[in-house]
Amino acid sequence: MAAAYATSKPLLTTVNNIIRRSADNYYFANVARRRGGDTTSFSTRPASYPIYILGDIAEVKFQVLDWKDLSIQWTSNSSYSDLLKFSPSVTVDTILPSPSSNTSQHGRVIIMLHNHPKMASTTLRRACWENLKSSCNIVSPKRDPMGYSDADDLASLIEQCTNTYHFCVGGWHYRADNFPNPTSRNISSLADMSITFLHMFPFRNFYDWADSALKQIFVGHSDTGCTEASKRLDSCNGWLELDFEKYSKRTMAQMIEIMNFRDHESQSHTFLLYDFREVQTTLALLSRMFHTPLLPYLDMTYKQNRREGSCPIETLQKFHDCFDEQLPHYDTV
């Protein structure tokens, strides 16, 4: 299958395409881009959705919080253990599909890895690239795996590549205010498939993430990059890795909002939050639970040995001045 690669359409289109049967069912209201503290968002339904948090991996313990409650607790200071304190434990069989459903195309389980910069995204992206090559003979001409940033490609990939359970997507391609009309590609057969999507979102402390993202700009672009990042932050605009739009809570908020506007017929969507440092052990656990092959190539690591130094601390302070107060309020987009 040829990998027709494009990046003009937000990946969010795919969610729309595969869970709706016709264009007549699309309905959005009061869509507004949330910039500079503007809190306008979708207003016809509350942003309520259960989010499952992986607690003790060794004992296979999951915990759950409603998205509205989780979003309040998830502040710039929050650690992963902080979120676990507020979430009660649940049994595995109450949240996840039966592993036996993996044996047929109808009832298929797909593990959707939402990638975010400075949260093991390079490792996951390369693992998915290699996995598609080995499992489905799909070689992307780019560094990103097919479907990483293009909705049509991902929809086609899920439909045709049935030899893998893992797909990687760029989490920051969710743009509610840029949501397009349904594409012309015929994917009716995919819409009819019974699919359970397990959406995996990584967690990293907001301060740690921003610090690492700023350092990556310095490593990749030296002082020129630092200057550009600082200039953009004067208007509270991110750049490259240091972009609020690319933080996992931000993209999860948009995904939750979309789910609240969908009457799921043949597809279901489960959201799992995990510690980004435990991505290998988390995927190994899911592999055992669902009796599926482990995503290969996860032992590859990148960007661990970065040169010393970073951009001026004033640039980081600009970022926090712009976005720290917004973070707790992202229960909707």
CA distance linking residue 81 with residue 66, whole number of Å:
17
Angstrom distances, CA of residue 214 to CA of 79, 193, 201, 232, 233: 20, 42, 21, 13, 12
Q: Report the mean per-residue pLDDT for the chain.
A: 75
DSSP H or E stretch at residue 54 = strand 50-54
Comparing 76 with 331, the larger pLDDT belongs to 76
Strand bridging mode 89-90 / 108-115: unpaired
Q: How confident is the model at residue 158 (pLDDT cuts 50, 70, 90)?
A: confident
At 213-230, the pLDDT tens digits run 999 999 988 999 999 999
Q: Quote the DSSP letter at residue 28.
A: -
Report which secondary-structure segment, H or E, holds 196: strand 195-203
pTM for this predicted structure: 0.79
Summarize the confidence of residues 120-128 as an average pLDDT: 93
> How far is residue 112's CA from residue 147's CA, in Å, rounded to a whole number?
11
- Selected residue with higher pLDDT from 3 and 112: 112
Q: Count CA within 13 A, CB hemisphere, residue 303.
A: 17
CB neighbourhood size of 179 (10 A): 17
Domain boundaries, the chain: 12-329
pLDDT band at 260 (very low <50, low <70, confident <90, very high): low
Phi and psi angles of residue 131, each rounded to the nearest 5 degrees, phi first: -65, -40
Percent of the chain at pLDDT > 70 equals 68
Do the Cβ atoms of 267 and 198 come closer than 8 Å?
A: no
Higher pLDDT pick, 43 / 68: 68
| Pair of tokens at residue 263 | 């009457």
Query: Is the pLDDT score of 24 beyond 70?
Result: no
Contact of 171 with 119, CB cutoff 8 Å: no
Asked if residue 34 has pLDDT above 80, the reply is no
Q: What is the pLDDT of residues 167-219, one digit of tens each?
A: 999 865 544 333 222 333 444 456 667 788 899 999 999 999 999 999 999 99
**Interval 129-140 mean pLDDT:** 93
